[in-house]
Amino acid sequence: SQQGEEDPQALSIQEGENATMNCSYKTSINNLQWYRQNSGRGLVHLILIRSNEREKHSGRLRVTLDTSKKSSSLLITASRAADTASYFCAPFSGQNFVFGPGTRLSVLP
Amino acid sequence: GAGVSQSPSNKVTEKGKDVELRCDPISGHTALYWYRQRLGQGLEFLIYFQGNSAPDKSGLPSDRFSAERTGESVSTLTIQRTQQEDSAVYLCASSFVGRGQETQYFGPGTRLLVL
């Protein structure tokens, strides 16, 4: 199974600032996904980027993928207090995948 | 249609008792996952079902843990002789593998407290 490792473990920013989270993985992938967890319950899928894509946008989210470095980044622009959550990356290699410990983002008003 | 549902939402049990957690995946989803998440921690993979293939049980922490799934429907996770360290939120997710999406849809989880 494939596990993503997020970095940093925790991040605090002011409302309106941008937040960048990174993810590294070890083996080749079909796609990489980012998820958000707000309240210690279920995760919500944010965005999926395929191995042949380099960048993808969805609203205030921008995801990049560098397969040569086996890394991805998630950028949240113009952050809001409601973005406060844990963010997980999930590299998918065709079998099951394992979530890493996540990045805990705190957006301060 | 309806999302992934889990029951019960919360479960308090005494050490040594058995518990059974239920997951109803989204209809038509071939893959089903169970995860455990301790307070303030990341997700810990437990078990993965994909269609009629043998499940991937590599994440089950001990032989007290077992899970079943009938076809592509409901799954139950059973914890026998519960211990206090089993206290956690147990999350279930389902996905339709094969369309190239493999997005996981999570249920709300079952919060288990072992006294």
Distance between CA atoms of residues A37 and B63, nearest Å: 29
A33/B104 touch (CB, cutoff 8 Å), yes or no: yes
**A98 to B45: CB separation less than 8 angstroms, yes or no:** yes
Please give the Cα distance from B61 to A47 (Å, whole number). Answer: 30
- Mutation test of the interface with chain B: which of A47, A58, A88, A99, choosing the one with the most B Cβ atoms within 10 A? A99
Answer for the pair B107, B9: CB distance below 8 angstroms, yes or no. Answer: no
Is residue A99 within 8 Å of residue A3, measured between CB atoms?
Answer: yes
- Dump pLDDT digits (tens) for A67-105: 999 999 999 999 999 999 999 998 887 666 667 789 999
The position carrying tokens 């040569």 is A68
Torsions phi, psi of A25, nearest 5? -145, 175
pLDDT tens for A27-37 read: 888 889 999 99
- B104 touching A, CB under 8 A? yes
Look at B42 and A1 and tell me if their CB atoms are within 8 Å.
no
Reported as a single tens digit per residue, the pLDDT across B41-68 is: 888 889 988 888 888 888 899 999 999 9
| Strand extents, DSSP E, chain B | 5-7, 10-13, 19-24, 31-37, 44-50, 65-69, 75-79, 88-95, 105-106, 110-114
CB of B4 within 8 Å of a chain A CB? The answer is: yes
Q: Which residues of B touch A33 (CB under 8 A)?
A: 102-104
Peptide bond into A8 cis (omega under 30): yes
